[in-house]
Amino acid sequence: MKTISNNLRLFWQGAILSYVALFHWMRPIQYTASKILMPLAQMFFFVYLGTYATSADNAAFYIVGNALQIAAVSGIYGMTMSIGGDRENGTLGYIFGAPANRLVVFMGRAFMNIMDGALGVVIAFVWGVLLMGLDLSNTNIPALALVIVITTISTCGLGLLMGCLALITVNVMFVNNFVYFLLLIFSGANIPLGDLPVSFQALSFVLPLTRGITAARSLVSGASLADVAPLLWGELVVGFVYFMLGYFLFTAFEAVAKRRGTLEVF
Amino acid sequence: MNIRMIAKYWRTILIVAEMNIRQQITDGFILFTVLFQPIIIALLGLWMLKDKGPDAAIFVVVGSGLTGLWSSLLFISGNSINFERWTGTLESLVAIPTPFEVIVFGKNLANVAQSLLSMALGYFVAAFAFGYSLEIQQPLLFVVSVLLSVIAFVSFGLIIAPIFVMNPGVRAWQNAMEFPVYVFCGFLFPIALLPGWTTPISYLLPPYWAAVALHGTSTAGASLNETLFAWGMMLLFSLIDLLIASRLFKMMLYKARADATLGME
């Protein structure tokens, strides 16, 4: 019982403290710029580009795709910096030195990013409705909310894996940016999956976001939760696999870093 | 900062530019911003606009190159003074007889010049990956447009860097300033798609005139008069930017010395 309560405490404290400390979201202006306006501007750019490429009738396709893609801001950048930030700030040694359960520490790190990422997607949908005329009148809103949460979780799974790379490379922003921008191509946010070469389609289906975006588009078109359930299960499985890969990689890198004495070597 | 100063210190500018490129060549963030991000945007644009044919392809190649120029200016040139702070070399640079704005001019020149690589790479991506046979319709006018665009971007960068130093609050908006310029300057789609009230904003941005000149000369979509007007606007904005930058650098250095915050962020 004591172990459970300790782990719960570790989870909550880890979630809140790591978020505050690592992200420096001390001032609302920084949060507004990076988490509200940047995604909005990015969404506008791709929606205009998409409607210019095809037609204004396809606006919903690009709005929904790019709104869901916002999950990757927290999922990829947030998660990576949650882990890589410890290395940069010199606190990684304390985490590795603590007897805390690594999985709980990890979950704590992911929790706030999932909440924050889901909030970012909701804000993006609100922008979509208010500024771009997205019609959600036929949409099952609770089901869409579920899609947003599941997609954000699975994207955080990939972010966790990327975060582990932050333990062994100094060019973590390169990796982050690369993955984030590749998701813009391969997740189907901007290019219909059928238009991609077959080999690229295979890559799309092992990435998070892909199924979530497809599910969200179906829901906006009037589909029911039951219709998109298989896609959501698939998205969950993809996220789970990335989470587990990230966790095992983290423990492996921890062992390697301790053995080589390269814990905080840049 | 003025034209006479640039002429007098051109050797220093070139050496600073060379040093800057050597320093940055292995930085993953810079490589991504300058090369990989514009290429990914080019790939996205080429895929999305594939039904519009080869004319759209050259538009995407030039437009994605412009995104590289702007992102490089915003994130790399914008932090060019802060970078010296982080590495502890700002005090030395300010103390040497060469005016500090000359050093920053050289750094910006390197950033903008290396960003042009993305346009060349975008060209090869379009040619090899998508099989387009691309042709610059007005090569001579295009080259002049590139040169004037470089000057306009470098001059614009001279305003951004001291503003970021003097107002850390403004630098917090850096992430939010990247895509709006892509949108307002018509890098990858015409600004005619945007609401009418945004047009004056576009006109006030030097990158917009660079986009007009480069798109116009690469696709022959603009008349000679339109191209000449865009060149004139780039030169006008460059002069205004240099004048403002001159004042900003004086203010920044005076403030940093008076507050004893030269090396502090």
B164-174 per-position pLDDT tens digit: 888 777 777 88
Pick out chain B residues at pLDDT < 70.
Answer: 1-2, 263-265
pLDDT in tens, A124-133: 999 999 998 8
pLDDT interval class at A26 (50, 70, 90): low
Query: What's residue A46's pLDDT?
Result: 93
Pick the residue from chain B with its C-alpha nearest to A50. B48
**Maximum average pLDDT range among A197-211, A227-241, B51-65:** A227-241
* ipTM of the modeled complex: 0.88
Contacts of A38 in chain B (CB under 8 A): 175-176, 178-179
Residues with Cβ within 8 Å of B80's Cβ and at least 6 positions away in sequence, in order, are: B104, B107, B108, B111, B157, B161
Query: What's residue A16's pLDDT?
Result: 78
Region A213-234: what's the mean pLDDT?
A: 94
Q: Quote the distance between the C-alpha of residue B16 and its chain's center.
A: 17
pLDDT interval class at A37 (50, 70, 90): confident
What percentage of chain A has pLDDT greater than the value 70?
A: 94
> How many Å apart are CA B37 and CA B217, to the nearest integer?
24
**Is B175's CB within 8 Å of A27's CB?**
no
User: Other CB atoms closer than 10 Å to residue A61's CB: what's the count?
Assistant: 21
**Is A177's CB within 8 Å of B37's CB?**
yes
Pick the residue from chain B with its C-alpha nearest to A176. B29
Contacts of A178 in chain B (CB under 8 A): 32, 36
**Is B32's CB within 8 Å of A177's CB?**
yes
Nearest-Cα distance to chain B for A134, in Å, is: 17
H or E element in which residue B155 lies: helix B139-166
DSSP summary character for residue B132: -
**Is B32's CB within 8 Å of A190's CB?**
no
Residue from the list B44, B174, B179 with its beta carbon closest to the beta carbon of A190: B44
Query: What's residue A135's pLDDT?
Result: 92
Query: What's residue B263's pLDDT?
Result: 66
**Is A42's CB within 8 Å of B179's CB?**
yes
**Is B173's CB within 8 Å of A33's CB?**
yes
**Is A34's CB within 8 Å of B169's CB?**
no
Most B CBs within 10 Å: which of A177, A187, A199, as the mutation test of the B interface? A177
Q: In sequence order, which ranges of B25-53 are alpha helices (DSSP H)?
A: 28-31, 37-48
Report which residue type is found at A41.
Answer: A
Evaluate if residue A111 carries a pLDDT over 70: yes
> How many Å apart are CA B152 and CA B112, to the nearest integer?
10
More confident residue, A68 or A14: A68
What is the pTM assigned to this prediction? 0.88
> How many Å apart are CA A203 and CA A213, to the nearest integer?
15
Structure tokens at B27: 């930085």
Residues of B within an 8 Å Cβ radius of A:
27-29, 31-33, 36-37, 40-41, 43-45, 47-49, 51-52, 169, 172-176, 178-180, 182-183, 188-190, 193-194
More confident residue, A261 or B32: B32
Query: What's residue A218's pLDDT?
Result: 95
Query: What's residue A13's pLDDT?
Result: 80
pLDDT in tens, A66-97: 999 999 988 888 888 777 777 777 777 787 78
Interchain CB contact of A200 with B (< 8 Å):
no
Evaluate if residue A146 carries a pLDDT over 90: yes
Query: What's residue A73's pLDDT?
Result: 87
Task: Count Cβ–Cβ pairs < 8 Å, chain A vs chain B.
Answer: 93
Nearest-Cα distance to chain A for B49, in Å, is: 5
Contacts of B36 in chain A (CB under 8 A): 174, 177-178, 181
Q: In sequence order, which ranges of chain A are alpha helices (DSSP H)?
A: 2-23, 28-31, 38-53, 59-69, 71-72, 79-89, 92-97, 102-132, 141-165, 172-186, 198-204, 210-220, 225-260
Would you list the DSSP string of A204-262?
Answer: HTTSSSHHHHHHHHHHHTT--HHHHHHHHHHHHHHHHHHHHHHHHHHHHHHHHHHHHT-
Q: Average model confidence (pLDDT) for chain A? A: 85
Most A CBs within 10 Å: which of B32, B41, B60, B79, as the mutation test of the A interface? B32
Report helix, strand or coil for A25: coil
Contacts of B172 in chain A (CB under 8 A): 27, 29-30, 33
Nearest-Cα distance to chain B for A95, in Å, is: 27
Q: Quote the distance between the C-alpha of residue A243 and its chain's center.
A: 12
